Amino acid sequence: MDKSVSQAYEDEIQALEEEIRLLTEEYEDIRQESTFFTDEEILKSIKLFQRETQGGTKGHESPSDLKAQLESLETDVSFFMTFTGFQFTSHSKKTVEKTRDRRVQKHRLSGKCHSLSFQLEFQLLETQNNEKVSTVVSDLSIIMDSREDSGVSKFVSSTEEHGNLLAFFRSLSSYAEWHEHRRRTFLHFKAKYPDIVTVPEGLLGDFIILRSPKVSGFELMIVWKIHLDEEGTTTPVLDLLTKVPEQVLEQRMTRVESIPGSFRSALRLFGIEAAIENLIKVLGS
């Protein structure tokens, strides 16, 4: 065979091999591009799994063993959600670069921590040196429902700048836990004292109103803010505001002015729930 013809065949073979490699990578990217599953899809998969294992599994684990493993995994997921408050609702990833010792993937993640929703988008660089694998987060973008709060906005900006996902999840867990604690506390007092306690902005608001059942127009507002600083530290801040009819204010000016200070002292001595409980009882009496 002529040498030039042989070289042409070799060149064409190499071109085909390169095309196969590119098509394989493209297929892998498409396959990985979206890994989001709805609750309905997960339920269908579980039912399909159960049907496939009903007839027996020769040479494999028995259906009862597989079912036990599935139940164990569901228990672990349930424990994680209960312990941390996190529930991830969607996740997708796409490989944007891949070599022998380097891979870059773009991730999108959304979920909730207690009552707070969040969305993340970031790139994850994985590099391998000998047997050691290192990862670096970059291009981090965070969307949160509470970002209109200046403290949350500063925290999010700082986290995006440093690309610290671990700090974000740790701080969000503490911040959301305080929100959940406030919600449960408001719900408790609203249910226990429906004639005195009102929640004008709902259980996710940051204040409740205590109305005196004996003095018309006499109201106390408990304001409960939750601050998140740039370093990710969560601090609850409570205060008391008064709304007093003029005739009551004229007769008991000194006693009314002392109420906010007494409430703050009770917070330091007894804690949030006990301080609110004592205030409601005094107001009711």
For position 33, what pLDDT does the model report? 47
- Given a contact cutoff of 8 angstroms between Cβ atoms, the answer to whether 236 and 174 are in contact is no
Ranges of residues in the chain with a pLDDT under 50 are 33-36, 57
Q: Starting at the edge strand that comes first in sequence, how are the strands of the sheet with 234-243 ordered? A: 197-198, 207-211, 219-228, 234-243
Burial of 27 from C-beta contacts in 10 A (0-12 / 13-18 / 19+): exposed
The residue type at 125: L
Structure token pair of residue 276:
């609110």
- Given a contact cutoff of 8 angstroms between Cβ atoms, the answer to whether 29 and 94 are in contact is yes
CA terminus-to-terminus distance, the chain = 110
Q: What would the pLDDT profile of 50-98 be if each residue is shown by its tens digit? A: 665 555 545 556 667 777 777 777 777 677 677 778 888 888 889 888 8
- Domain regions of the chain by residue span: 177-284
Bridge partners, 104 (sequence order): 97, 125
- pTM of the model as a whole: 0.69
For position 253, what pLDDT does the model report? 54
For position 68, what pLDDT does the model report? 75
Contacts for 117-122: CB closer than 8 Å, 24+ residues apart = 117/144, 117/145, 118/142, 118/143, 118/144, 118/145, 118/172, 119/143, 119/144, 120/165, 120/168, 122/163, 122/165
Using CA atoms, how far residue 183 sits from 34, 136, 171, 283, in Å, is: 35, 37, 19, 22
- For residue 85, the 8-state DSSP code is -
DSSP letter string over 8-74?
A: HHHHHHHHHHHHHHHHHHHHHHHHHH-----HHHHHHHHHHHHHHHTT--TTS--HHHHHHHHHHHH
For position 236, what pLDDT does the model report? 94
Where do the DSSP E strands lie in the chain? 86-98, 102-113, 116-129, 132-144, 197-198, 207-211, 219-228, 234-243
For position 211, what pLDDT does the model report? 92
- Distance CA(196)–CA(280), nearest Å, equals 8
SS3 220: strand
For position 208, what pLDDT does the model report? 96
- Our measurement of the distance from residue 222's CA atom to the centroid of its chain's CA atoms, rounded to an integer in Å, reads 27
Q: How many residues does the chain have?
A: 285
For position 26, what pLDDT does the model report? 60
